[in-house]
A and B are shown apart, each in its own frame.
Chain A
Amino acid sequence: MSRQIHIVCVSGTHEKLQMAAMVASVGAASGDEVTVFFSMNALAYFVKGDTTDAPVEGGFGTIIANNNGVPSFRQLFQQASELGDAKLLPCSMALDLLEITDDDLIPEFGVPTGLTKFLMDAEGAQLLSF
Chain B
Amino acid sequence: MSETKVIDACNTYCPGPLMELITYMKQAEVGDTLELLSTDQGTASDVPEWVNKIGHEMVSSEKIGKIWHIKVRKAK
Contact = CB atoms under 8 A, between A and B. Distances in A.
Interface of A: 22, 25-26, 29-31, 67, 69-71, 76, 79, 83
B7 interface: no
Contact of A30 (B11, B12, B16, B53): B53
Contacts, number: 39
Interface residues of B, number: 15
A34 to B, nearest CB: 13
A29 B18 CA distance: 9
A5 B22 CA distance: 19
B19 interface: yes
- Majority SS at the chain B contact face: helix
Nearest to B21: A29
Interface string B40-58: 0000001000100110000
Given A30-B53, A30-B54, A79-B19, A70 B26 contact: no
A102 B11 CA distance: 36
Given A30-B50, A30-B53, A31-B54, A83 B26 contact: yes
Contacts of B16: 69-71
A22 B22 CA distance: 14
Given A31-B54, A83-B26, A69 B19 contact: no
